[in-house]
Amino acid sequence: MINVKKTLHVGMIGSGFMGKCHANAFRAFGGLFDSPISIELYKIADINDELAAQSARTLGFEHSTSDWKALVDDPLVDIVSIAAPNALHEEIALRAIDRGKTVYCEKPLSVSTESARKMMLAVEAAGVANLVGFNFLRNPLIAVCRDMIASGKLGEIISFKGRHAENYMLNESLPHSFRTDPAGGGAVADIGSHIVSMARYLLGGISEVTARSRTIHRSRPVTLGSAELAPVEVDDLAHAILQFDSGVVGSIDVNWMSTGRSMDLSFEVTGTRGAVSFSQERMNELHIWEAGKSAGYGGFKKIETGPDHPPYGNFCPAAGHHLGFNDLKVIEVSELIDTVLTGKSNFTDFREGYRVQCAIDAILRSTKSGHWEKVAGD
């Protein structure tokens, strides 16, 4: 276990959507979780001094820098929070690992399985605390699902149907970006990882997949507003069948131009004695079906989040008051701190980040080969 101090200093790299989300979660943690650890928003790095300084002001960091390497090397930094573009994850993480820092990396772990594997091996060799940001798994109701599955309440699990559908790439005038970069881009890689990580969290390993993808917008502007178009080489959507290690068969669809859907990360897990149905669109409710009801009184029951679903009670003592998206990140930070304190790996450690990437990689390979593809993984 790494050296635990009373106050942990966070050094963060990147200040976009996820950077802001990390910063707010770190700030909120202290007031919501009764922890021996207090967290200091110590230093933030961004691509130039101005942006970094501005982000520091806005997000509440004490210091700023345009030199992320210096941030990582700063001996006061305990936790390196990586919210930088995916292509930089490896380099940053390897340096942070080398300096013995706790590494908190946004998903996906990296842009390729090879890269992710290198990061995983490094972090395990060094023995530093580490966590990948799969925030949707932090929902207390997802823990309820997992418990119901693990405890046998649902009987033998027989089927999984999942989806991650958003619409943020629907507009064809949206230009190329890291999202459409053949290295690590595409809907499957970008948001497919959410439903794949969810499937793995609930049902365990995936051994084999078959899939078909489509590119709908076959070209996009090279930059915003540009008349010059360049071809798109990544998928806009895909359908896949998943073979789990346990024998369960499931299917998912992934779509980043799913008209009308802004956050349909949803699934149904079917067992011989029960079922659970969830959509992030209504993240504060879970629908469960349990065998054994008297005739005519069976049905899916809508459970609302509440203090009986830890750590909901840290946010509110009364049921039904709703957690929000940002609260999930606070829970994630609390799990990161747990990992630091106890030395025990969180489920979504770098190894898990790597395995998710292997499944994503197999899906992408299958869309090209037209065959079932084995999921690598060690």
- Of residues 66-125, which lie at the interface with a second copy (CB under 8 A)? none
Radius of gyration of the chain (CA): 21
Residue from 299, 343, 344, 368 binding a second copy (CB under 8 A): 299
Query: What is the rounded distance in angstroms from the CA atom of residue 106 to the CA atom of residue 229?
Result: 30
Residue from 316, 335, 374, 376 binding a second copy (CB under 8 A): 316
Phi, psi of 233 (to 5 degrees): -105, -5
Question: How far are the Cα atoms of 171, 263, 283 from residue 168, in angstroms, in the given order?
Answer: 7, 10, 19
Which residue number, 78 or 253, has a Cβ lying nearer to a second copy? 253
CA neighbor of 161 nearest in space, from 288, 261, 254:
254
Q: How far is the CB of 351 from a second copy (least distance, A)?
A: 27
Q: Decide the pairing of beta strands 274-279 and 219-221.
A: unpaired
Tokens 């029960």 locate to 274
**Beta bridge pairs of residue 249:** 159, 243
255 is a site residue for a second copy (CB under 8 A):
yes
372 is a site residue for a second copy (CB under 8 A):
yes
Which residue number, 238 or 358, has a Cβ lying nearer to a second copy? 238
The residues, ordered by sequence, that sit 6+ positions from 23 with a Cβ below 8 Å of its Cβ are: 12, 15, 41, 44, 59, 60, 61
Which residue number, 88 or 319, has a Cβ lying nearer to a second copy? 319
- Name the strand (E) or helix (H) holding 198: helix 192-203
| Residues in region 1-30 near a second copy by CB under 8 A | 17, 20-21, 23-24, 27-28, 30
CA neighbor of 88 nearest in space, from 2, 14, 174:
14
300 is a site residue for a second copy (CB under 8 A):
yes
Which residue number, 90 or 166, has a Cβ lying nearer to a second copy? 166
**Six-digit token string for 350:** 């770098």
Identify whether the C-beta of residue 276 lies closer than 8 Å to the C-beta of residue 161: no
Query: What is the rounded distance in angstroms from the CA atom of residue 232 to the CA atom of residue 7?
Result: 46
Q: How far is the CB of 75 from a second copy (least distance, A)?
A: 26
Identify whether the C-beta of residue 42 lies closer than 8 Å to the C-beta of residue 11: yes
32 is a site residue for a second copy (CB under 8 A):
yes
CB burial class (10 A; 0-12, 13-18, 19+) of residue 294?
Answer: exposed
282 is a site residue for a second copy (CB under 8 A):
yes
**Beta bridge pairs of residue 20:** none
Residue from 251, 313, 338, 345 binding a second copy (CB under 8 A): 251
Total residues at interface with a second copy (CB under 8 A): 97
Q: How far is the CB of 61 from a second copy (least distance, A)?
A: 10
| Residues in region 229-248 near a second copy by CB under 8 A | 236-241, 243, 247
Which residue number, 47 or 158, has a Cβ lying nearer to a second copy? 158
| Residues in region 139-168 near a second copy by CB under 8 A | 144, 154-156, 158-159, 161, 163, 165-166, 168
303 is a site residue for a second copy (CB under 8 A):
yes
Which residue number, 86 or 113, has a Cβ lying nearer to a second copy? 86
**Beta bridge pairs of residue 40:** 9
| Residues in region 202-221 near a second copy by CB under 8 A | 210-214, 216
Query: What is the rounded distance in angstroms from the CA atom of residue 50 to the CA atom of residue 66?
Result: 8
SS3 state of residue 221: strand
Which residue number, 82 or 248, has a Cβ lying nearer to a second copy? 248
- Name the strand (E) or helix (H) holding 342: helix 325-342
* Region binding a second copy by CB under 8 A among candidate stretches 7-15, 112-120, 221-229, 283-291: 283-291
| Residues in region 317-346 near a second copy by CB under 8 A | 317-327
Residue from 204, 205, 306, 313 binding a second copy (CB under 8 A): 306
* Region binding a second copy by CB under 8 A among candidate stretches 85-93, 120-128, 194-202, 281-289: 281-289
